[in-house]
Structure 1
Amino acid sequence: MPVDAAFVEIDGPWHHRYVAANGARFHVAELGEGPLVLMLHGFPQFWYAWRHQMVALADAGFRAAAMDLRGYGGSDKPPRGYDTYMATLDAASVIRSLGETAAVVLGQGLGGWIAWAMPVLRPDVTTAIASLSMPHPRVLRHASWVDRKQRAASGWIAALQRPFAPEREMTRSHDYVEGLLREWSAPGGTFPTAEDVARYGDAMMIPFVAHSAAEHYRWLGRSQIRPDGPLFMRRIRPPIHVPVLQLHGADDRAVLEKSTRGSGKYVPGDYRALTIPDAGHFLSEEAPDAVSAELLSWLKSLQ
């Protein structure tokens, strides 16, 4: 059965809305009232990855807004604009379209990469950031250069540089998505369930999502041998002057735990880094209670 963008409008206590921002339309799931917390998902997911934290944050008096990144889920899938500069502008524009001047930004995986760039590239809208399963981009780049185990763990990004073939693999069946969900999560855990595989596998089959998802990583890969990659790394070198929370799974097999060390040198002020035991790359779903508790403790300390 064909899958369309409406597939991601999953029923729950949240409500779904579409907002115009940065020349595109973005799908946002929203719950609660209070200070805005914008949530950015990773690959191969969509807003649904934050469902547990949305409920916890809303119950604690926050306005949780989980958006589908450009090219994912119910958001627009334009043919271009998949660099990190555009992703941070998308997030900043969504914050304003939601009627706020600034927000705390949470990100996981790809969303975490974007979150790290927000205080430097979009400081006017960013009051604090939390990154799950992703160190500062410069730290990950260095680890990928000097650590052969991290290079091997990041080999899937190199595979995505091929034209057309990855898209066909992602949409042929759920096998590609299921493989990543199982490979990157902690062994012996309860994630992913069959329902998780079905939801994320089907979401990848929404027209143009597979191509758009690959394009985010094609920019990350190909920019390293073009001027825009080194320029981006220089642009995000300045110190971050907002509070930062970094959470990482001890058993993350996509971004190794040892590859995250050193991010604190970019945060001269309020910086907290915690390792979550018995969890892998998909922290918000593998350890939802622990992640929600750490996020709430940190968010309340900001008030």
Structure 2
Amino acid sequence: MTEQRGGRRKPVVDESCVLVDGPWQHRFVGANGSRFHVVEAGTGPLVLFLHGFPEFWWAWHEMLPAVADAGFRAVAVDLRGYGASDKPPRGYDGYTLAADIAGLIRGLGERTATVVGTGSGGMIGWTTAAFHPKLVRRLVVLGAPHPLRLRAALFSDPRGQFTASTPMLKFQIPRYEHTLTRDNAALVGEYLHRWGGQDWVSSTSFDSYAARCREAMQIPQAAFCAMEGYRWAFRSVLRLHGYRFVRLMQQPLITPTLQLHGAIDEASLPRTAQGSGRYVSAPYEWRLLDGVGHFPHVEAPDLVLGEILRWTKS
């Protein structure tokens, strides 16, 4: 499929690019008024995987078969606005994104799930556990400080976390999504390279992984939707619904939580993430991963898999 641009025909990426074959099944599940693309393998207690930015469900393709083989129902989802899931123009606030995951757990026919989220998916994991605690049996977050830790660091650490969050500040610029998709979504590859650990970005697997993420971000409306969550996060700071969000997130989390964080994460700084445990009243563990950046699930998949299974089975 192509579209006309300045007399030249440019290929148009469609959602079929994320329907990758493998030892899993693709299907669509209705939740919270939208349709979500999910990829699943295995049977047993549900482990629901949430990708981050600038990824899609493929972030977990190495984990799904291994978690399924361990006796679980492993499901990775394209979050609202990503991949083959619906891309409505609204609904990227913290409340709605958490309600998406709660609805998805129910839509999958389950009563509870272990939720595993990385990056922005980890932030959604925090909020889902806070707003829908009965549905989240256990929580694993990677590269994601508690939302209130991040909020505080943006103000208290201007040379650290505020500077690290500069790319997200640029998302506030109207129509910046066109910059994100320009030149075959080259900026997506730059983000992955900038935030990933050196061992991973210099490996043979990096280029193919980045190519898939770049292609998925070029699906129509995906880049706009990916930015909307960050736009809400920053704009809500001085708005009433933002104050309400903070008040709700201050309630102690009753979900057992494992937090894994890369020691060289330059997107969410380790010093920002440390201290998130103060918001958890249930059992909580923190582990800093040496030599790992913002994408532990692909930089150190064996280590992360072992930790996920240990926490899920305990």
- Show the counterpart of 2:67: 57
Residue equivalent to 1:167: 177
Matched, 1:72 2:85: no
Equivalent position SS for 2:83: coil
Amino acid at match of 2:71: G
Matches within 5 A, 1:239-278: 239-278=252-291
Match of 1:180 among 191, 201, 207: 191
Query: The residue matched to 1:104 in structure 2 has which SS?
Result: strand
TM-score by length of 2: 0.93
Shift of residue 124, structure 1, vs aligned partner: 2.6
Q: Distance in 2 between matches of 1:139 and 1:223?
A: 16
Q: Which amino acid counterpart does residue 175 of structure 1 have in structure 2? A: A
Q: Letter of the aligned partner of 1:80 in structure 2?
A: R
Correspondences of 1:177-256 after superposition (within 5 Å): 177-189=188-200, 190=202, 193-256=206-269
Which whole-Å CA distance do the structure 1 matches of 2:35 and 2:193 have between them?
32
Q: Return the offset for 1:84.
A: 1.0
The one-letter code of the counterpart of 2:275 is: G
Partner SS, residue 245 of structure 1:
strand
Distance in structure 2 (CA, Å) of the matches to 1:133 and 1:245? 11
SS at match of 2:62: helix
Report the alpha carbon displacement of residue 205 of structure 1 after superposing the two structures with TM. Answer: 0.3
Of 77-86 and 191-200, more deviation after overlay is shown by 191-200
- Alpha-carbon deviation of 1:71? 0.3
Secondary structure, aligned partner of 2:160 = helix
Looking at structure 1, the residues matched to 65 and 164 of structure 2 have their Cα atoms a distance apart, in angstroms, of: 32
Where do 1:30-45 residues align within 5 Å? 30-45=40-55
Equivalent in the alignment of 2:118? 108
| Paired residues, number | 300
Summarize the alignment of residues 76-91 of structure 1 with structure 2, pairs less than 5 Å apart: 76-91=86-101
TM normalised by structure 1 equals 0.96
Query: How big is the shift at 1:211?
Result: 0.4
Deviation at 1:5, TM superposition (A): 1.1
Whether contact under 8 Å (2:196, 2:265) holds in the other structure is yes
> Which residue identity does 1:114 align to in structure 2?
I
Pair 1:156 & 2:167 matched: yes
8 A contact 2:133–2:254 mirrored in 1: no
Q: Which amino acid aligns with 1:34?
A: G
Distance 1:152 1:56 in 2: 37
Q: Structure 2 CA distance, aligned partners of 1:178 and 1:215?
A: 20
Task: Select between 198-207 and 261-270 the one with higher mean Cα deviation.
Answer: 261-270
Residue-by-residue CA offset, 1:32-63 (whole Å, 9 max, x unaligned) = 11100111110000011011221221111011
**Is the partner of 1:17 in helix, strand or coil?**
strand
Runs of 4+ in 1 over 4 A off after TM superposition: none
Percent identity of equivalent pairs: 47
Report deviation, 1:187.
2.1
Aligned equivalent of 1:130: 140
Q: 1:197 Cα deviation (Å)?
A: 1.7
The one of 290, 293, 296 aligned to 2:303: 290
- Could you tell me how far apart the structure 2 residues matched to 1:188 and 1:103 are? 32
Question: Gapped runs of 5+ residues in structure 2?
Answer: 1-10
Q: Which amino acid aligns with 1:98?
A: L
1:281 is the counterpart of 2:294: yes
Query: Displacement of 1:188 after TM fit?
Result: 3.6
Q: How far 1:270 moved relative to its partner?
A: 0.6
C-alpha separation in 2, matches of 1:118 and 1:251:
27
1:109-141 alpha-carbon deviations (Å, 9 max, x no partner): 111001111122112311111110011111111
For 1:146, the equivalent position in structure 2 comes to 156
Match of 2:6 in 1: none
